[in-house]
A and B are shown apart, each in its own frame.
Chain A
Amino acid sequence: MDAFITHTGTAVPLRRSNVDTDQIIPAVWLKQVSRTGFEKGLFSAWREDPGFVLNDPAYQGASILVSGPDFGTGSSREHAVWALQQYGFRVVIAARFGDIFRNNSTKMGLLPVVLPGEKVEALQAAVEADPSLPVTVDLEGREVRWADEAVGFEIDDYTRWRLMEGLDDIGLTLRHADDVAAYENERQPWLPTTV
């Protein structure tokens, strides 16, 4: 995945809560076996409404999505992350995220940023007032900045390091193959196999 250190771009406000992954990418799009082409499915049902915020020309080219709470709940489909990235998003900001979505995002280098609800709303209002407002998401400094605001966010050191280095998780784990083999020798004898 691409390394993420800091990103500055424009943002789009999504004033909805419980944006589940079925909305981010409806199931009919999940039938593909490739990893590409999912941007067409992003919010595909909602995008049919000309009034939907992603259809507003003022927000074209935005790379930061600022959503209401409980973004990415529901299905484990990583296609939701692929769709957001392939559409052009690098960051999603919300007060709360579904656990699986947040995990999937960090595996792919899409940065999920948790800010307090009132800060999310302040950012949404600022972007609505000026859609060209530059917003900076600084992973190294763990801070989101816009206009004269600077709001810190939390992320654990390990995930931050992995994102900043753009490291492949599997490669990291395979360094510990000996530990895995040692564990396997000690597993309980009744545990099932599928054969």
Chain B
Amino acid sequence: MEQSRNEQEEIMGRTLAEKVWEQHVVRRVDGEPDLLYIDLHLIHEVTSPQAFDGLRLAGRKVRRPDLTIATEDHNVPTVLGPIADPVSKTQVETLRKNAAEFGIRLHPMGDAGQGVVHIIGPQFGLTQPGMTIVCGDSHTSTHGAFGGIAFGIGTSEVEHVLATQTLPAYRPKTMAIEVSGELPVGVTAKDLILAIIAKIGTGGGQGYIVEYRGEAVRKLSMEGRMTVCNMSIEAGARAGLIAPDETTFAYLKGRPHAPSGELWDQAVEYWKSLRTDDDAVFDKVVEIDASTLTPYVTWGTNPGQGLPLGASVPDPASFADPIERSAAERALEYMGLSAGTPLRDVEVDTVFVGSCTNGRIEDLRSAAEILRGRQVKTRTLIVPGSMLVKLQAEQEGLHEVFKAAGAEWREAGCSMCLGMNPDTLQPGERSASTSNRNFEGRQGKGGRTHLVSPQVAAATAVTGRLTAPADL
């Protein structure tokens, strides 16, 4: 990570990110990265096999299997039955073998605790304020919603954490994103983060830990906070976080791995100290007024290429920067869009509601609210982020709403967020997707992706065109 020390940090107040970081420094020597302790390591089948191989080759063990948890998510089919693709099957079986060999708790396909890696940590109460959490997955930033430092790592670092439960890292700079005002009715956490990424760009957060602050952020549910922090990486920031408060504590209380009794009281007392001091100074501050936002949608092939749904496809010539102009030209060509077309006129073939960004119960509830009593015009996949989310949705009868509307109700997994499992777009197909990346080919080779909120996804399924619920 980028090296940056606030020279005045000894005398000034500290930001939340600095407090959490300092609490985890195992060793600090001038001219070297800090050695940082990792409180929780999440594992999945895609980025771990080569790390376990590395351990075996070097004769090393997993230092803290009790701080490690694994799940199967990226490759799994979301219809019942075995994995048909032999290569995917081998990868999942390799995780099972590694988890057994090294003594790591695993939630395999079919298990009641299985789900997308970033959904299961919070749902078990394993994700808590003030922790350091890593995973070989860039959307690990999700867990920062609880007020910890959580970031994605590569396979070499996965191996490093397995072997040592630490990582050498330079503390990133700090950025505050101050969100004033209130989100208007019908505007969601997803629209907020898409608007932030459109404002600061895909490189805007590079080298920073972002703290999301302000009235609109405080009013978000934990699910909404997770959606915002989840997409920090789409703005280039490896980690994003939100100070814990009563909303956080209420979400955690009573979860299987949350503290209880006297330890709960001790923990809450400490968690309340996890806020940025009033006199702390951020390296960068970005301001955004939530009250001016409307539903957002991406039109291009990176998450920064987003606009309000009421806008039209932009003209590449309108970009002053030549690099942005050529990126826009290329994006329109790939997306099969013409400048000036109202985004509301863009027709889609597929709607996907799910992923670590929007696969939680609140997301499913809001999609169901729109689909209740209506019919979908497109192929519509509703994929719960975990088996527990699925169970809860079924207890609430949401699955009946989806099925009655003509949508497909699936098993838990990463599904159409990325083209590693059977849920993909065909070349030229277009989706409205609640996931996090509209990269070329992300949802299947040649597929075209528009990132949206669950509400916009559901309304789009009803009309077959990009649509806000208010348009219905």
A27 at the interface (CB under 8 A from B): yes
A residues in contact with B363, CB < 8 Å: none
Shortest Cβ gap from A75 to chain B (Å): 5
B50 touches A17 (CB 8 A): no
| Interface stretch of the complex, out of A55-63, A76-84, A131-139, A145-153 | A76-84
Q: Among the listed A22, A78, A184, A194, which residue makes an inter-chain contact with B126, where contact means beta carbons less than 8 Å apart?
A: A194
B154 touches A192 (CB 8 A): no
B263 touches A170 (CB 8 A): no
Q: Which residue of B lies closest to A173 (CB)?
A: B164
Shortest Cβ gap from B386 to chain A (Å): 16
Cα distance A159–B143 when bound, in Å?
A: 28
A residues in contact with B341, CB < 8 Å: none
Cα distance A56–B66 when bound, in Å?
A: 51
A100 touches B152 (CB 8 A): yes
A41 at the interface (CB under 8 A from B): no
B163 touches A18 (CB 8 A): no
Shortest Cβ gap from B60 to chain A (Å): 7
Q: Which residue of B lies closest to A32 (CB)?
A: B87
Q: Which residue of A lies closest to B414 (CB)?
A: A27
A143 at the interface (CB under 8 A from B): no
A residues in contact with B326, CB < 8 Å: 15, 17
Q: Among the listed A169, A184, A192, A195, which residue makes an inter-chain contact with B168, where contact means beta carbons less than 8 Å apart?
A: A169
A residues in contact with B69, CB < 8 Å: 194
A180 at the interface (CB under 8 A from B): yes
B67 at the interface (CB under 8 A from A): yes
B residues in contact with A107, CB < 8 Å: 154, 156-157
A73 at the interface (CB under 8 A from B): yes
Q: Which of B37, B125, B266, B330 has the most CB atoms of chain A within a 10 A radius of its CB?
A: B37
B420 touches A173 (CB 8 A): no
A residues in contact with B420, CB < 8 Å: 27-28, 30-31
Find residues 93-123 in chain A having any chain B CB closer than 8 Å to their own CB. Answer: 96-100, 103-104, 107-108, 117
A residues in contact with B88, CB < 8 Å: 31
B residues in contact with A79, CB < 8 Å: 155
B137 at the interface (CB under 8 A from A): yes
B residues in contact with A158, CB < 8 Å: 31-33
Find residues 390-422 in chain B having any chain A CB closer than 8 Å to their own CB. Answer: 418-420
A103 touches B128 (CB 8 A): no
A18 touches B302 (CB 8 A): yes
Cα distance A51–B419 when bound, in Å?
A: 25
Q: Which residue of A lies closest to B50 (CB)?
A: A35
A76 touches B153 (CB 8 A): yes
B241 at the interface (CB under 8 A from A): no
Cα distance A172–B237 when bound, in Å?
A: 27
B66 touches A195 (CB 8 A): yes
Shortest Cβ gap from A59 to chain B (Å): 20
A residues in contact with B330, CB < 8 Å: 16
* Given A27-B418, A76-B47, A173-B35: A194 touches B67 (CB 8 Å cut-off): yes
A70 touches B67 (CB 8 A): no
Q: Which residue of A lies closest to B442 (CB)?
A: A22
* Given A180-B26, A190-B266: A70 touches B50 (CB 8 Å cut-off): no
Shortest Cβ gap from A35 to chain B (Å): 5
B residues in contact with A35, CB < 8 Å: 50, 53
B residues in contact with A103, CB < 8 Å: 1, 153-154, 157
* Given A23-B439, A100-B153: A170 touches B164 (CB 8 Å cut-off): yes
A191 touches B39 (CB 8 A): yes
Q: Among the listed A17, A45, A96, A190, which residue makes an inter-chain contact with B445, where contact means beta carbons less than 8 Å apart?
A: A45
A45 touches B2 (CB 8 A): no
Q: Among the listed B26, B128, B445, which residue makes an inter-chain contact with A183, where contact means beta carbons less than 8 Å apart?
A: B26
Q: A-facing mask of B102-138, CB < 8 A → 1, else 0?
A: 0001000000000000000000011010010000111
* Given A22-B441, A33-B90: A176 touches B236 (CB 8 Å cut-off): no
B440 touches A78 (CB 8 A): no
B441 touches A174 (CB 8 A): no
B308 at the interface (CB under 8 A from A): no
B3 touches A156 (CB 8 A): yes
Q: A-facing mask of B420-449, CB < 8 A → 1, else 0?
A: 100000000000000001011110010000
B469 at the interface (CB under 8 A from A): no
A180 touches B236 (CB 8 A): no
Find residues 6-33 in chain A having any chain B CB closer than 8 Å to their own CB. Answer: 15-18, 20, 22-23, 26-28, 30-33
A residues in contact with B153, CB < 8 Å: 76, 100, 103
Shortest Cβ gap from A106 to chain B (Å): 9
Q: Among the listed B131, B238, B267, which residue makes an inter-chain contact with A99, where contact means beta carbons less than 8 Å apart?
A: B238
Cα distance A18–B330 when bound, in Å?
A: 12
A166 at the interface (CB under 8 A from B): no
A76 touches B128 (CB 8 A): no
Q: A-facing mask of B323-365, CB < 8 A → 1, else 0?
A: 1101100100000000000000000000000000000000000
Write 27 A-B pairs (CB below 8 A) sorted by A numbering. Answer: A20-B437, A30-B74, A31-B420, A45-B440, A45-B441, A45-B445, A70-B202, A77-B46, A77-B47, A77-B154, A96-B203, A98-B206, A99-B238, A104-B154, A107-B157, A156-B170, A170-B160, A173-B160, A173-B164, A180-B37, A184-B165, A190-B259, A191-B39, A191-B128, A192-B257, A192-B258, A194-B257
Other than the given A20-B437, A76-B152, A169-B156, 7 more pairs (CB < 8 A) read A18-B304, A30-B46, A78-B136, A173-B166, A174-B164, A177-B164, A179-B26
The 5 closest A-B pairs by CB, nearest first: A78-B154, A104-B154, A107-B156, A190-B259, A33-B49
